[in-house]
Every structure is written in structure tokens, then in C-alpha cells.
Amino acid sequence: MTGNTLRTFMLLAAMTALFMGIGFLLGGAAGAMIALVVAAGMNVFAWWNSADMVLRMHGAREIRPDERHPDLRRFAEDTVRLAQGAGMPVPRIYVIETEQPNAFATGRDPRHAAVAATTGLLNRLNREEVQGVMAHELAHVKNRDTLTMTVTATLAGAIGMLANFALFFGGNNRAGLIGTIALMIFAPMAAMMVQSAISRSREYEADRIGAEILGNPMALASALEKIERSARQTMNPAAEQNPATAHMFIINPLNGQRMDNLFSTHPDTANRIHRLRQMAGAAAPVRSGPWGQRGPWG
């Protein structure tokens, strides 16, 4: 078990313990057990349905083998080759109609996974950079991060719901009225901190493995630089309506958080680019690939 995997396991255990702790404060040992059963049920539901739910939220359209658009077909073919080169099952491939350049992966395991890219990504990035982004998303699938992120999102939402539910019990629970108010404020914050820590650690690892899958860290570094710059200036309506999915994207689709603070779901992009440059052994500025500044859709 790698240090990164061990850290993720410990953070997930902490989030589960927090959820059970809230249940104990509300209803003693019975409340803790009920909370555990609810958490297990929610995670099973999310495990089976997460991929299709997220894809529907963002209006994603699957790119099928009979796709008529030649550029979309080429994008899908490139992604298939990357997956095959990485020795993993080929995921379903989707496109999302939105101007913001971004991408995400979802699914309960590598055999039931999907990757999605926005039309903004395909329009603003060159072909090699798009491949770098897809390699990053395939790394998430290979690492089973898609399941981890689904579980953390489900638990975080459940903790917030349970903390708000505590208000109805008022001073009749073990926490008392003051404790209940504190619970409502700090429990969701603690869950968010844990969720963010898990997300940040997995992004760094996906950058590393994605660069290895493609064999060109600088292509992913260049892609991250372009996406960060463009995403801050372009609204993603579906992401704004479903902020719980923000941590799944390669770059935060909601706002321009710049630092690795406690509540940021993504590492600082400059830090990610720096690590990729170190992988490539390059200190020079990031350069575009052979397809130029804009993608074939632009």
C-alpha cells in the first residue's frame, strides 16, 4: 500500500467516524449504528449509479463508433489508444457542450468507467494537450479514484444533512442545544476538509500517472496552464448547478481558488505544473505541441 493510498484510506476512515460520531450524539449507540447503516446504503447506491447520474447532470453525450463528426471520432480514437496502451479497459467516452475547457472521469471501477471532455477543451487545446488531459482522467480510472471520490462526496453530503437534521432534536440529544449548533457549523466544515484533502492528493497522483501513460509530462503541463487560464473566465452552468461534482474535474469549474488551502478541492495549478516539469526534467516555460495553440475544433 503506497503512502498516498494509506493516507486516502485514513481520511475515508476519519470521515466515516465523523458520520458515526454525529449519529452517536443524536441517538447514542443506536444512533451511531443507524448512521453507519445509512452511510453504507448511500455508498452502495452511489457505487452503482454514480457514473450515469453525473453524466446526466452535465448533459454529456456519448461518442459512439458511428460518430459522424470526424474530430470527435479522432478524439475518441486517441482516447481508446491511450487506454489500450495503459493496459486497461476502454471507458465510455463522452462530450459535454459547454465553452469552459474541462474534463472528468466517473464510474465505480475500470470496467464501468466513463471519461468526458467539454467542447471548450477540444476547441482551446491542441491534440497532444487533449491527450494529456485524457491520460490524466484515465489515471483516475486506473487508480479507482472515481469510486473514492464518489464515496467521499456521498459521505460529505450525508454529514451535512445529518448535522442539519440535528437541529430538529434541539437540546434533547447528547450534544445539547449549544453542542447542536456547533455540530451544524463544524461537522460539514470537517467533512469538507477531509474531502478536499483526499481530492488534492489524488490529483497529484493522477498527474504523475497520466504523464507516464502519455509519455510526455509537458503536454499535460501545457494543458493545465491553458485550462486554468480559460476556466477562470468561462462559466460552466451545469457545474454551478451541481457544485458537489466540482472535485471530479481536472480543474475546479466553479471559481479561481489559487492555493492549497484547507477547503480547496484542487491543488494549486502552478504546483501541479511545477511537478510535471520536474518529471520532464525541464526548467523552460511550457511550450505548445505540434498542433499549435488551438485544437482542431477551433
Please list the active-site residues: 137
CA torsion 265-267-268-273 (nearest 10°) is -140
Place of cell 449504528: 33
Helix (H, G, I), strand (E, B) or coil at 249: strand
d(CA 131, CA 35): 42
Which three three-digit cell numbers place residue 63?
461518442
Question: Whats the size of the chain, residue-wise?
Answer: 298
The DSSP annotation for 91-143 comes to: PEEEEE--SS--EEEEESSGGGEEEEEEHHHHHHS-HHHHHHHHHHHHHHHHT
d(CA 120, CA 163): 38
Which three three-digit cell numbers place residue 162?
445529518
Helix (H, G, I), strand (E, B) or coil at 268: coil
Q: Dihedrals φ, ψ of 224, to 5°?
A: -60, -40
